[in-house]
Amino acid sequence: MFYVIDVEDYVRVEPRLFGLDTKTAVEEQLQNTYAKYHDEEIGEVIGVVSVSQVGEGIIIPGDGAAYYNSDFKLLVWKPEMNELVYGTIAEITNFGAFINLGAIQGMIHISQTMEDFVSFSTSNVLTGKASKRVLKKGDNCLARIVAISYKGDSPKIGLTMRQPGLGKLEWIEEEKKKQKSAEKKAAKEEKSDKKEKKK
């Protein structure tokens, strides 16, 4: 889920930015500080939205930088359990697929890619035995977050596509068409049954 959060913090502005006006220096320092930043509490920082206020700077002896008490807004993405996410298959492996979710990558185990027995081929695709559905790099998918772990350098996101309405976008469209067709057929049969009863 995406959020805009308000933060008040002292921003350490490096001496290399001293030639800029204070607000610009703070903005640039924040962009550098929060590039590829993630935290279990706030999530994955996408970017600095704005800096609304910059206070007086202070200097700490022995540190050449200046510290400015600042109010700013961050755009963050915090993964939530059971959240639906769109993504693009970035890599296929013999144990599953990595999906680019924009802010971060998620992993989907081979058993969670589709409701079928799935095999991995040497051409780096996952294929369903009965359905003959194929999942490959570059495919756009809709998945659900089923696991989140913050151990290590970056969060690990576990995904599934083995639920109705999930999977490769083309599969979802196929299922919708089948359902509409089945509904039309059922309505037609019901209408026919009513005519027979009237006779």
Structural domains of the chain sorted by starting position, each given as residue range(s) with its CATH number in brackets: 2-77 (3.30.1490.120), 84-178 (2.40.50.140)
Q: Is the pLDDT of residue 196 over 80?
A: no
Mean pLDDT, residues 154-172: 90
CB-based contact 162:112 (threshold 8 Å): yes
The pLDDT tens digits for 13-40 are 999 999 899 999 999 999 999 888 888 8
CB-based contact 1:77 (threshold 8 Å): yes
Mean pLDDT, residues 156-181: 90
Token pair in block for residue 102? 């924009």
Q: Is the pLDDT of residue 191 over 90?
A: no
The pLDDT tens digits for 55-112 are 988 988 889 899 999 999 999 999 999 999 999 999 999 999 999 998 889 999 999 9
Token pair in block for residue 166? 């999930």
pLDDT tier at 136, thresholds 50, 70, 90:
very high
pLDDT tier at 143, thresholds 50, 70, 90:
very high
CA dist 40 and 34 (Å) reads 14
pLDDT tier at 52, thresholds 50, 70, 90:
very high
